[in-house]
Structure 1
Amino acid sequence: MTPPLGDIAHLGHAQLHTPDLAASVAFCTDYLGLTVNAETADTVYLRAFDDYEHHSLVLTARDRPGLGRVALRTSSEAALHRRVAAIEAAGGTGKWVEDEPGLGPLYVTTDPDGHEHALYWESEHYRAPEELRPALKNQPQAKPNRGVGVRRLDHVNFLAVDVLANAEFQENVLGARPTEQIRLDSGGIAARWLTYTNKSYDVVYTSDWTGTPGRLHHIAFATDTREDILRAADLAVDTGVFIETGPHKHAIQQTFFLYVYEPGGNRVELCNPLTRLVLAPDWPLVTWTEAERAKGQAWGLKTIESFHTHGTPPVAP
Structure 2
Amino acid sequence: MTPPLGDIAHLGHVELLTPDLDRSLAFFTDYLGLTVNGQDGDSVYLRTWDDYEHHSLVLTAHETSGIRRTALRTSSEEALRRRVGELDAAGRPGRWTEDEPGLGPVYVTTDPDGHELALYWKSEWYQCPEELRPGLKNQPQAKPGHGVGVRRLDHVNFLASDVAANADFQQQVLGARPTEQIRLDSGKIAAKWLTFTNKSYDLVYTEDWTGSRGRLHHVAFATDTREDILRAADLALDTGVFIETGPHKHAIQQTFFLYVYEPGGNRIELCNPLTRLVLAPDWPLITWTENERAKGQAWGLKTIESFHTHGTPPVA
| TM-score when normalising by structure 1 | 0.99
- How many residues align structurally? 316
- How does 1:221-232 map onto structure 2 within 5 Å? 221-232=221-232
- CA distance in 2 between counterparts of 1:308 and 1:217 reads 9
Q: Distance in 2 between matches of 1:138 and 1:115?
A: 34
Give me the whole-angstrom Cα distance separating, in 2, the residues matched to 1:290 and 1:303: 13
The match for 2:242 is 242
Letter in 1 for 2:78: A
Q: CA deviation at 1:41?
A: 2.1
- SS, match of residue 291 in structure 1: helix
Q: Distance in 2 between the 1:106 and 1:89 partners?
A: 19
Does the alignment pair 1:199 with 2:228?
Answer: no
Partners in 2 of 1:301 and 1:107 — Cα distance?
Answer: 42
Given that residues 247 and 300 in structure 1 are in contact (C-alpha distance below 8 angstroms), is that contact kept between their aligned partners in structure 2?
no
Distance between the aligned counterparts of 1:185 and 1:136, measured in 2?
Answer: 52
Q: 3-state DSSP class of the match of 2:64?
A: coil
Distance (whole Å) between structure 2 residues aligned to residue 222 and residue 68 of structure 1: 21
State the 1:168 CA deviation: 0.4
What displacement does 1:127 show?
Answer: 0.6
Q: What CA deviation, in whole Å up to 9, does each residue of 1:153-189 have, x standing for no partner?
A: 0000000000000000000000000000000111110
Cα deviations by residue, 1:123-154 (Å, 9 ceiling, x for unpaired): 00001100000010000000001100000000
Amino acid at match of 2:98: E
Aligned AA (1:152): R
Determine if contact 1:249/1:300 at 8 Å carries over to the other structure.
no
Partner-residue secondary structure (3-state), 1:201: coil
Matches within 5 A, 1:1-317: 1-299=1-299, 301-316=301-316
> Shift of residue 190 of structure 1?
0.3
Task: Work out the CA distance in 1 between the residues paired with 2:214 and 2:202.
Answer: 18
Letter matched to residue 183 of structure 2: R
The alpha carbon displacement at 1:2 in A equals 2.6
Shift of 1:300: 5.3
Summarize deviations over 1:263-298 as a string: whole Å, max 9, x none: 000000000000000000000000001111111100
For 2:65 and 2:248, the matched residues in 1 are separated by 26
1:229·1:271 contact (CA, 8 Å) conserved in 2?
yes
Q: How far does residue 302 in structure 1 lie from its aligned partner after superposition?
A: 1.8
**Separation (CA, whole Å) in 2 of partners of 1:68 and 1:223:** 24
Provide the rounded CA distance (Å) in 2 between the counterparts of 1:102 and 1:230. 34
Q: Secondary structure at the match of 2:221?
A: strand
Gaps of 5+ in 1: none
Matched-pair identity in %? 82
| Aligned mates of 2:52, 2:132 — CA distance in 1 | 13
Instruction: Give the deviation of 1:301 after TM superposition.
Output: 2.9
The whole-number CA distance in structure 2 between the counterparts of 1:300 and 1:65 is: 32
Report the Cα distance in structure 2 between the residues aligned to 1:103 and 1:24, rounded to whole angstroms: 24
Q: Which runs of 5+ in 2 are unaligned?
A: none
**Could you say what the CA RMSD is over the residues aligned between the two structures, in angstroms?**
0.6
